[in-house]
Each structure stands twice: as C-alpha cells, then as structure tokens.
Chain A
Amino acid sequence: MRVLILIPAYNEASSLPQVIADVRQHVPDADILVVDDASSDATAALLPQLGVRWVRLSQRLGTGTAVRTGLRYAAARGYEIVVRIDGDGQHPPEEINRLLVPLLHGAGDVVIGSRYAAGRTAATPPVRRLIHRMLAEVLSLMTNQLVTDPTSGFWAFSEQALHVLVDHHPSGYPEPELLLFLNRNGLRVIEVPVEMRTRIAGRTSLTPQRTWSAMARLLLLLVVVPLRSAVEGNRD
C-alpha cells in the first residue's frame, strides 16, 4: 500500500525539520510531500535540504488549494492513501497509524483525527472551543453523522476519495466544506480520537479578520453545498 504524507506549509521553516523527522520515525515506509504555499520565510530554501518530495506554489493560494495540489501529485503517481498533517507540529505523527487502520480495513473512505472524539478534551481557548462545538452540532445535523472536530486538519484519504478530490477539494480553510462535500457525494467519513499538540513554532494564519471571513463564507456554504450536484471521480 503506497502511502503519501502530505504537509501543506506556509511559513513553517522553524517546525518542518522536526515534523519530518517525527514522520520518518513513526511512518518509515511512507513518502513525504511538502506543498509550500508561497512561504515568505526560509521554507523554500529549506525544502531541498529535507530529503522529501516538494512542490512550491508561486503565489499564496491557501490551505485548501495547497492540499488539492498535493492530492493531484499523489493521484498522478499512483498513491493509494494520502494522510494530511499540518506543518506546525500540531498533529503527532505517532497518531498517523490510527487514521490508517480504518482505511486499510475498508471501514471508511476518509478518516479524520479528532481531538474531541470519545469525550476527549484539548487545550483550545474557550471562545474557539465554543465555535467548534456549535459548528460540530450544525455539521452533525446536516450530514447525519457525528462530527466532533469540524476544523481538524488531520485527515486520511482513501484512493476513492483521492480521485474525487483532485478536482473538487475546497479552497480556503477547507475542512467544514469538505465534510459537507464528502457527505453530499456519498463518501464515508469516520472520526478517530487523537491527541494533538500545540504548534512547535510560528503563528496561526487565522487572524480575527480571516476567522470572520471564513465564518461568513461557511454560512453561505452550509446552504449552497447540499444543493450542488454530486460529482464523479477523476481517474485520468
């Protein structure tokens, strides 16, 4: 089973070496791809020295598009599973196997690592936790399945999901829209509980302005995505 660990990165030069070393230690058979979303720090200079596969976008397009680029890379090279983790060290590579198990057993098409599943708690600021909880309730209701961590960026995609998402992975901050999209297209999503850490270095790209903008966009998408037609997977 060919597995690709996909790391979308924007200004993660301080944390990437550690994250990659951890991935190598815990998932030694997997290939690693970093998609640099036009970082303005030393990420671009660092990539050739890390001994990983990498793609550099010439303009900053956001996390969703960086992930889509990675999925297209994976699909073109015949990978069967893609695991997406953040480049800031929040997603411990030792938890990757937890996401792989359900895919290997065919229990789902997409697996999400949830920091709140099975009654877990995480060190999330109270306001953000409240937003997560409200969003989780709305998405659970709309998708008719339990969603506990609607903004987790810790995902594993099966080959079937991969071939649908190469053309349709959402842009921007993609996670809630992705949940709606997968549900609309009949792909099975399951959550597994995982531990998450605080970021190794750097700052989140979610400024207050971007948070409000993402929420406004999400409100619109909650209405629109279920009304869109289902899509077909790309097998080219």
Chain B
Amino acid sequence: MIEPVQIIALVTSVFLLGLVLELVRRKKLTEEYSFVWLICAVALLAVALGRRLLDRVALAVGIYYPPAALLLVLIFFVFVASLSFSVVVSRQRQQIERLIEEAALLEARLRELDSSSSIKTKPSVTPAS
C-alpha cells in the first residue's frame, strides 16, 4: 500500500525534475548547477517508488517508521545542495574580488599611460627664425 508521504514525495520529485529541466531549457539554470538538483529529484523518486528499498534503508539505519527515512533523504539532499551552493557563492566572491582588483589596476595603468603620453606629445617650442 502506498503511504501518503510516498505520494507527496513522488509528486515533489516529479515536479522538481520537471522544474529543473524547464529552467535548464530556458537557460535560467546552467547545466553545471542543475546536476545536484537532478540527482536529488531522481534519488527521491527512486526511494518513493521502491518501497522495499525504503524499508530496507530505514531498518538498516534504525528508523522504525520507513516514511520518515524519506524525509531524511530529502533533508540530506537539500543539505548537500546548500553546501554546494555555498561553495559556488564563495568561488564567485573570489572571482568578483579578482575582477574588481583587475579593473582598478587596469584603470591605474591606463591613467599612467595617458599621463605619460600627454607629456610626450606636448608641442615642442620652436625657436623663431
């Protein structure tokens, strides 16, 4: 018999799968960052459909109410996704810092080149004949 929580998990995973694919199709989510969500959706789907697998996993980790294991799997994947996005945000912060540094250094270089070329191109004074 299918538990209500399994139906919720099934609907959630199918919805998540569809949503992620649609976001990738519209190029609002890049492929690189979609994988963690796709794995999350597929894992949830597998556990929701495979009742016996769920029972076995729950028993192995000492959970006496198997549908609770489903929520645990969901929480685990959300945790992994959050951590992976923290890594992405950290990396992007470093990239932004480096870009700001580069822009400032280039601006300084340009200013110095401008000032040196304006000194060189000053009209020379020619003695009157």
Residues of A at the B interface (CB closer than 8 Å) are 35, 53-59, 61, 65, 68-69, 72-73, 76, 171
Residue of A nearest to B93 (CB): A171
Chain A min CB distance to B61 (Å): 30
CA distance A69 to B107 in the complex (A): 12
- Contact flag A58-B104 (CB < 8 Å), given A65-B97, A171-B97: yes
For the complex, is B105 an interface residue (Cβ under 8 Å from A)? yes
Q: Please tell me which one of the listed residues B97, B100, B103, B105 contacts residue A73 in the complex, with CB atoms under 8 A apart.
A: B105
Residues of B at the A interface (CB closer than 8 Å) are 97, 100-101, 103-105, 107-108, 112
CA distance A58 to B107 in the complex (A): 11
Report the tally of A-B residue pairs with Cβ distances under 8 A.
33
Question: Which chain A positions have C-beta within 8 A of B105?
Answer: 55, 69, 72-73, 76
Q: 17 A-B Cβ contacts within 8 A?
A: A35-B104, A53-B112, A55-B104, A55-B105, A56-B104, A56-B108, A57-B100, A57-B101, A58-B100, A61-B100, A65-B101, A69-B101, A69-B104, A69-B105, A73-B108, A76-B105, A171-B97
Chain B min CB distance to A179 (Å): 21
Question: Which chain A positions have C-beta within 8 A of B100?
Answer: 57-59, 61
Residue of B nearest to A56 (CB): B104
* B108 and A72 form a contact (CB under 8 A): no
